């Protein structure tokens, strides 16, 4: 169906269903779910139907020579857009700053995260990484966002993305739930082994997810065709074995876990 026809059909469905957002229209691929794009009346409808906010935790970080620097937020936002289309809710703009391990560099300055991974020999500042903030500042930023989301009328928040930000979020879920009176969801330790999204660093998993979400941003020709040459600053299975179909499979497994969390919490039937 041409795009214009789909839009008019959705307008009809929405008008016919009154104030609440019709889930049949919400499942359509072009429905607006990004917070920054909503008009106030659209915001009111989506918030009223499902007061869930999604917070993508990203970075601007080296993800091998073959993936873009913003891969973390592209993947976490991509998953959340899909969740919002299926389950309702509104997707916040990603945070591109986050904590990570750090240590002084031999020649001065600091090394962070993948700068001193096993696959980075010798350890060095990897090109393009520009995201590190202390853990305490990250906690403060997320606290401030939660306070504003609560004030705006949300009752639940799902956050995920970049590993160290994911774990910081998961560690503080219960304390923050008590402090803000919000229901909070993340990749907690009990589901981590089943979670399939962003579970390596620029390796087969993240590369496959990126090939699903944004194939035109992935360039495997930047990696050596010689399998004995290990990609620099990459952690996990070889990204040269990645594929969009596997990315889609991983995405669906994670979306199913989100659905189950929401059902368990009584947010979805």
Which residue ranges make up the site for Zn ion (CB under 5 A)? Answer: 72
Nearest approach, Cβ of residue 206 and Zn ion (Å): 5
Nearest approach, Cβ of residue 28 and Zn ion (Å): 29
Nearest approach, Cβ of residue 179 and Zn ion (Å): 29
Minimal CB distance residue for Zn ion: 72
Nearest approach, Cβ of residue 162 and Zn ion (Å): 6
Between 25 and 76, whose beta carbon lies closer to Zn ion? 76
Between 65 and 72, whose beta carbon lies closer to Zn ion? 72
Cross-strand partners of 53: 90, 157
Nearest approach, Cβ of residue 26 and Zn ion (Å): 28
Burial class (CB in 10 A: 0-12, 13-18, 19+), 49: middle
Between 72 and 160, whose beta carbon lies closer to Zn ion? 72
Nearest approach, Cβ of residue 157 and Zn ion (Å): 21
Burial class (CB in 10 A: 0-12, 13-18, 19+), 70: buried
Question: Cα(79)–Cα(185) distance, rounded to whole angstroms?
Answer: 14
Compute CA distances 70 → 60, 96, 116, 214, 262, whole Å.
5, 8, 20, 11, 28
Between 169 and 262, whose beta carbon lies closer to Zn ion? 169
Question: Cα(147)–Cα(137) distance, rounded to whole angstroms?
Answer: 15
Evaluate the omega torsion of the peptide bond into residue 69 and state whether it is cis, within 30 degrees of 0. no
Whether the CB-CB separation of 78 and 210 falls below 8 Å is answered with no
Between 167 and 180, whose beta carbon lies closer to Zn ion? 167
Nearest approach, Cβ of residue 104 and Zn ion (Å): 24
Question: Cα(201)–Cα(129) distance, rounded to whole angstroms?
Answer: 13
């Amino acid at each position: 169906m041409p795009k214009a026809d789909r839009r008019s059909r959705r307008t009809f469905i929405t008008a016919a269903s009154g104030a609440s957002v019709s889930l049949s229209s919400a499942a359509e691929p072009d429905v607006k779910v990004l917070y920054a794009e909503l008009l106030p009346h659209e915001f009111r409808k989506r918030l009223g139907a499902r007061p869930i906010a999604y917070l993508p935790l990203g970075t601007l970080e080296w993800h091998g020579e073959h993936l873009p620097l913003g891969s973390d937020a592209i993947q976490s936002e991509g998953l959340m857009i899909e969740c919002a289309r299926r389950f309702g809710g509104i997707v916040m703009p990603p945070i591109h700053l986050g904590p990570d391990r750090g240590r002084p560099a031999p020649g001065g300055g600091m090394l962070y995260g993948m700068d001193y991974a096993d696959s980075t020999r010798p350890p060095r500042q990897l090109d393009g990484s520009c995201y590190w903030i202390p853990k305490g500042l990250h906690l403060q930023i997320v606290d401030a966002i939660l306070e504003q989301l609560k004030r705006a009328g949300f009752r639940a928040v799902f956050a995920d993305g970049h590993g160290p930000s994911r774990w910081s979020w998961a560690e503080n879920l219960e304390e923050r739930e008590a402090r803000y009176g919000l229901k909070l969801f993340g990749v907690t330790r009990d589901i981590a082994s089943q979670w399939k999204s962003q579970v390596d660093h620029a390796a087969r998993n993240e590369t496959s997810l990126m090939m699903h979400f944004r194939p035109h941003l992935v360039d495997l020709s930047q990696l050596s065709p010689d399998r004995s040459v290990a990609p620099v600053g990459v952690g996990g299975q070889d990204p040269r074995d990645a594929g969009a179909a596997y990315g889609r499979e991983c995405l669906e497994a994670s979306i199913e876990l989100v659905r189950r969390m929401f059902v368990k919490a009584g947010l979805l039937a």
